[in-house]
Amino acid sequence: MVLVLALVAALWLLASVTADHMRARGIRSGFDFLLDPAGFDIGEGWLAFEPSQPYWRAFLAGLVNTIRAAVPALVGCSLLGLLVGVGRLSSNPLVRGACRAWIEVVRNVPLLLQLLAWYLVLTEFLPGADEPGGWAGIAQWSKAGLALGGEGGPLLSPEYLALVIGLAVYTSAYVAEVVRAGVQAVPAGQWEAAAALGLPARVEWREVVLPQAMRLAIPPLANQYINLVKNSSLAVAIGYPDLVSIANTAINQSGRAVECIAVLAAVYLLLSLSTAFGMDRFNRRALRHGG
Amino acid sequence: MTFRSLSRWLLAASFAFGAHAAWAGKTLDGIKSKGQLACGVSSGVAGFSQADGSGRWSGLDVDYCRALAAAILGDANKVRFVPLVSQQRFAAIQSGEVDILARNTTWTLTRDASLGLHFVGILYIDGQGFMVPAKSKVKSARQLKNTTVCVQSGTTTEKNLSEFSRANNLNLRPVVFEKFEAANAAYFSGRCAAYTTDASGLASVRNKEAKTPADHVILPELISKEPLGPAVRRGDDEFFTIARWVLFGLQEAEELGVTQANVEAMQKKARDPQVGRLLGTTEDMGKLLGLDKDWLARAVKATGNYGEIFERNVGPKSPLGLPRGSNNLWTKGGLVYAPPVR
């Protein structure tokens, strides 16, 4: 409690001294600009945005875009991570080796480079927008993006695809290690008991080992999920209009750098806390019902 | 959060804690005591500010800083160039990290009135344009419909693009990159139907980045006014006045025919009283600025007059090959007009 009060006091001091200095230098400050019209376009997203709408709405569109990329990446990294993590423990040396190579390569190349590489692959090798490739009626792809269900369907831009794939692949390596650690932490007696019952390998994994392993894996998994959400801010490097990208533009249009960064920090804090909260709920449920 | 966001946080924090140190004394005293002018420039826009392999900076913005250093410190090499990305630039001048921002920055009312800055003047008159691949057969920006346009963030560009798109009902979708290099790469890979930035920037990109410059066409429309010029911090009238009169002085020197080659001879024997005032032989204008009488003679000796700086860095004979156009002197049909040095 004392710590929290001290922190609040320190933040308040920092904020008020900063505001004083900014006033002294004729720099406008305050959050009132959030109500002014933003004036710029946002290239894509779920939340329709018009340039005449206010800055706060632009930030909201950015947040929605961040979530729009983070959620499929979370699902993707979990599935891929589970697969690779289990494969890492396979009795087949080829599968084991391949999974290990995957983890080592993906973990040791910086995420920013991976995102740029995915983006490069998509933009270099997809056909031009005027001559798209694809299967009529199902999907169509070009440098303009991936259109599902033919002409009128939703268009996924190369920026979006590169971000989702990049985040999912990068985080999958960490998830795989978490899964492996979880599986290896399941007591040997459980394996032996399953074997003694004569359960086939598939049932042994699905009914005995994985439920216990996942329970152990949830807390470290929560960390990886939070990392993924924060890492999505690298989207700005490949042109995807996420929260950071919108904030960058807002800083330049409005000049309110300190305020925009405060908004960014607050929103990411909120995102991380809610991810942590969600995972905590999940963990409690698993503790009650699992095992 | 990205590294750059972190560095912005630190800059913000420096408002609170480092601020007093940066603001002790006037800017001019600070520059004199350090023996160096800290000049914020862009990190690499050909013709405006660019470092070569050996770390030597060149460009229009760079030469202005050199002229300013020559006028104040007597040595055009006493400049520390601080490369800034567009998102950092205002915080850098506000916090005192640089003395002057000479970083192809557009002078607008919002920036003038709300960022704690004073714009010194106009160093280059620009306008936002579009570039498209030559094979696309697009001849006018108004033919770009329902397409994507690559943009670098942190400029006035995004807003202009949005307004142009709405005014002409074009439904242009921006793909916004944080870095100039990333925006260039995306355009050249064919991701966007067009690329938009200041026309001078387009010429620079086409010249520097395109495999075959002729494969890309800069469309005729200029959709905005982009007066690019240096800016100083508010609250220091003395330095503001020096910075603006060095700019005017360079322009006046061109008007009066004072060049890098003839400035010494002119100083010795010119009879024109206007030249005498400019070069400090008949009247001492430097004293009024807190400098000595040779202030402008030194600047011209170091970098040449405004026209020479223009020709060397961006003019028709430079690699960029931009026409003089609006940036010509008012006496030659352009818009460059310096108030009298008297």
Task: Kindly determine whether residue B12 and residue A129, on different chains, have CB atoms separated by under 8 Å.
Answer: no
Q: What are phi and psi of B80, to 5 degrees?
A: -100, 115
List pLDDT tens digits, range B187-214.
Answer: 999 999 999 999 988 988 898 889 998 8
Evaluate if residue A286 carries a pLDDT over 50: yes
List pLDDT tens digits, range A134-170.
Answer: 776 678 888 888 887 655 567 899 999 999 999 999 9
Count CB atoms within 10 A of the CB of residue A1: 5
Q: How sure is the predictor about A23, in pLDDT bands with cuts at 50, 70 and 90?
A: confident
Of A15-29, B124-138, B179-193, B325-339, where does mean pLDDT reach its minimum? A15-29
Mean pLDDT, rounded, for A53-77: 96
Evaluate if residue B326 carries a pLDDT over 80: yes
Q: CA-CA distance, B280 to B193, in Å (whole number)?
A: 54
Residue partners of B116: CB distance under 8 A and separation at least 6: A22, A25, A26, A27, B94, B233, B234, B235
Which site among A112, A160, A236, A238 would you substitute to test the B interface, given the most B Cβ atoms closer than 10 Å to its Cβ? A236
Q: How far is B159 from chain A (nearest CA, A)?
A: 5
Chain A residues with CB under 8 Å of B182 CB are 116, 237-239
User: CB distance from A244 to chain B under 8 Å?
Assistant: yes
- Is A104 or A139 the better-scoring residue by pLDDT? A104
In this prediction the pTM is: 0.79
Count CB atoms within 10 A of the CB of residue A48: 9
Task: Kindly determine whether residue A51 and residue B182, on different chains, have CB atoms separated by under 8 Å.
Answer: no
Regarding beta strands B50-51 and B57-58, do their DSSP bridges make them parallel or antiparallel, or are they unpaired? antiparallel
Task: Kindly determine whether residue B158 and residue A249, on different chains, have CB atoms separated by under 8 Å.
Answer: yes
According to DSSP, residue B329 is labeled B
pLDDT of residue B16: 47
pLDDT of residue A119: 94
- The string of DSSP codes covering B131-167 is EEEGGG---SGGG--S-EEEEESSSSHHHHHHHHHHH
Rounded to an integer, what is the distance from CA B71 to the centroid of its chain? 18
List pLDDT tens digits, range B89-126.
Answer: 888 998 899 999 999 899 999 889 888 899 999 999 99
Q: Taking a C-beta distance cutoff of 8 angstroms, is the pair B39, B82 a contact?
A: yes
Q: How far is B63 from chain A (nearest CA, A)?
A: 26
List pLDDT tens digits, range B152-197.
Answer: 876 678 999 999 999 999 999 999 998 888 899 999 999 999 999 9
Average pLDDT, chain A: 90
pLDDT of residue A153: 62
pLDDT of residue B8: 54
pLDDT of residue B4: 53
Chain B residues with CB under 8 Å of A125 CB are none
Q: CA-CA distance, A11 to A6, in Å (whole number)?
A: 9
List pLDDT tens digits, range A222-258.
Answer: 999 999 999 999 999 999 999 999 998 898 888 788 8
Residue partners of B179: CB distance under 8 A and separation at least 6: A237, B85, B152
pLDDT of residue B188: 93
Evaluate if residue B127 carries a pLDDT over 90: yes
Q: CA-CA distance, A21 to A6, in Å (whole number)?
A: 22
Task: Kindly determine whether residue B159 and residue A253, on different chains, have CB atoms separated by under 8 Å.
Answer: yes
Closest by Cβ to A25, choosing from B116, B156, B162: B116
Angle at CA A211, nearest 5°, toward A207 and A214? 150
Task: Kindly determine whether residue A157 and residue B1, on different chains, have CB atoms separated by under 8 Å.
Answer: no
Closest by Cβ to B116, choosing from A27, A157, A248: A27
List pLDDT tens digits, range A26-64.
Answer: 777 889 899 999 989 998 888 889 999 999 999 999 999
List pLDDT tens digits, range B62-96.
Answer: 999 999 999 999 999 999 999 998 778 888 998 89
Q: CA-CA distance, B119 to B121, in Å (whole number)?
A: 6
Closest by Cβ to A28, choosing from B86, B114, B172: B114
List pLDDT tens digits, range A192-208.
Answer: 999 899 999 889 988 89
pLDDT of residue A234: 95
Task: Kindly determine whether residue B91 and residue A253, on different chains, have CB atoms separated by under 8 Å.
Answer: no
Closest by Cβ to B159, choosing from A39, A124, A158: A39
Q: CA-CA distance, A85 to A102, in Å (whole number)?
A: 10
Q: CA-CA distance, B227 to B175, in Å (whole number)?
A: 25
Of A13-22, B22-31, B223-232, B331-340, where does mean pLDDT reach its minimum? B22-31
User: For chain B, how long is the longest CA-to-CA vector?
Assistant: 64
Q: How far is B301 from chain A (nearest CA, A)?
A: 35
Closest by Cβ to A255, choosing from B115, B153, B233: B115
